[in-house]
Amino acid sequence: MNLRIRLKSGEPLLGTLITLDSPEVALILQRAGFAWFFLDLEHSALLDLKSAQRIIEVLQPQGYAVIRVPDNSETWIKHALDTGCDGVIIPHVGSRADAERAILFSKYPPLGRRSVGIARAQGYGSSFQDYLSGAAERIAVIAQIEDVDGVENVDDILAVEGIDAIFIGPYDLSGSMGILGQLTDPALIENVNRVRRACQAADVPFGIFCPNTTAMNAELARKTSLLAVGSDTGHISAGAASIFHELRPER
């Protein structure tokens, strides 16, 4: 099933961030059990559209590959979607206008104004008509709320037709509140829960980035459906550190 259908099922979808230009690492993480992959073109200096497409080719169809674009612009969104990814994450959605802009650039006419070009998404033309007719139903558009404005305007954002899920960026949200990195601060938790409640009321899937498995397990207990824990570099670092600390060399 495609990502949009999977999101609507309400079943938890566990994923992680990809920041390295390495299809091999992405495949290892997929084999470990992750089901969706957050390809971070906003922050990673190592990922570009070409490397993201190579990673997507490795991950699909067993896993869902979602690109976080650097900004909510027509050029970035159409280039990302032309890779054949399963969806896009739009950063810093803070208003209804931001959400409408994301849908405008993500959907072909008459729903939006995404331009048509030959790319991997339609097999370089081999499945052209099938892709054009089914793209709106297959591609997920995920709005990332990571500012106070987004929390304040969450109901307006959720009212935009075509937004398939909301994803919280807790670090940037904490920064916009003046408590950068304080993820257990009650004020941050209340803002996250405010968005959570709004999503539940609107029947829109809620997601969040989790820095560790403790946070992820807590979100699973709350029936959160879209979860990303850690990153490729973090998993490698933690695995290597765990092995090192278990060694008992003779002294």
Residue 143 to residue 99: CA distance in whole angstroms: 7
Active site residues: 43
Which three-class secondary structure state does DSSP give residue 50? helix
Residue 222 to residue 26: CA distance in whole angstroms: 28
Beta-carbon contacts of 29 under 8 Å, excluding residues fewer than 6 positions away, are: 16, 18, 37, 232, 235
β-pairing, 87-90 vs 140-145, is parallel
